[in-house]
Structure 1
Amino acid sequence: MHIFVGTLQTDDEFLMRFLRARKLCVKDALEVYENYYRFLHRNRELCFGLKIDDAEIKQALEDGLPGVIQRRDSRGRRIMVLFAAQWDPSRYSISAIHKALYLSLNLLLQDCVVRERGLILVIDWSQFSFQQCSKLQPAALREIAEGLEYCYPVRFKSIHCVAQPWYIEAAVSLLKPFLRGTSRGKIFSHGNNLSSLHQILSREILPAELGGEQGPYQSSLWIDNLIRASHDTPDRNQSID
Structure 2
Amino acid sequence: MVGEYVCTLSEELLQRAKEEINEVPERRADDIEHIRDWLKHQPHITARLDDWTILRFLRGCKFSLQRTKEKLDMFYTCKTLCPEWYKNRDPQDKKIRAILELGIMLPLPGHDHLGRKVILGRWGVYDPQQVSVDDMNRASLMISDILAEEDEQTTITGSVFVGDSEGMTMAHIASFTPSLMKKSMVLWQEGYPMRPKGLHYINTPAAFDTVFNIFKSFMKEKMRKRVHIHGTDMESLYRHVPKSVLPVEYGGTNGTIEEITKYWIERLDARRDWLLEDEKYVVDESKRPGKAKTSAELFGLEGSFRKLNVD
TM-score greater than 0.5 by the shorter chain: yes
Give the CA deviation at 1:40. 1.8
Q: Structure 1 pair 74/81, CA: closer, same or farther in 2 (3 Å)?
A: same
> 2:190 matched to 1:132?
no
Which of 242, 258, 263 is the equivalent residue of 1:221? 263
Deviation, structure 1 residue 163 = 1.3
Give yes or no for the alignment of 1:85 onto 2:124: yes
Choose the corresponding residue for 2:85, options 21, 46, 69: 46
208-217 or 103-112, larger mean C-alpha shift: 208-217
1:112 aligns with one of 129, 152, 155: 152
What are structure 1's unaligned runs of at least 5 residues? 234-241
Q: How many pairs were matched up?
A: 229
Residue 95 (str. 1) matches residue 108 (str. 2) = no
With over 3 angstroms needed to count, the CA separation of the structure-2 counterparts of 1:215 and 1:33, relative to structure 1, is closer
- Asked whether the 8 Å contact 2:104–2:121 carries over to 1, the reply is yes
Deviations 1:126-161 (A, max 9, x none): 231223212322222221122111112222221111
Name the residue aligned to 2:207: 167
Residue 231 of structure 1: how far off its partner (Å): 5.7
1:223 CA drift (Å): 1.1
51, 66, 70: which is aligned to 1:27?
66
Hey, what's the Cα distance between the residues in 1 that align with 2:171 and 2:140?
23
Structure possessing the higher radius of gyration over alpha carbons: 2
Give the letter for the 2:52 counterpart: E
Superposition pairs for residues 49-68 of structure 1, below 5 Å?
49-68=88-107
Give the superposed CA RMSD: 2.2
In 2, Cα distance between equivalents of 1:46 and 1:36: 13
* 2:263 partner amino acid: L
SS at structure 2 position matched to 1:126: coil
* Equivalent residues in 2 for 1:136-215, closer than 5 Å: 136-214=176-254
Letter in 2 for 1:128: M
Q: Which runs of 5+ in 2 are unaligned?
A: 1-43, 276-311
CA contact under 8 A between 1:69 and 1:217: conserved in structure 2? no
Contact 2:247 2:257 in 1 (8 A): yes
Provide the rounded CA distance (Å) in 2 between the counterparts of 1:134 and 1:232. Answer: 34
Q: Alpha-carbon deviation of 1:90?
A: 2.0
Q: 1:93, CA displacement in angstroms?
A: 0.5
Shift in CA distance, 143/55, structure 1 to aligned 2, threshold 3 Å: farther
Identical aligned residues as a percent: 22
State the SS of the aligned residue for 2:124: helix
TM-score (norm 1): 0.86
1:9 to 1:89, Cα distance in 2 relative to 1, 3 A: same
TM-score for both structures, normalised by structure 2:
0.68
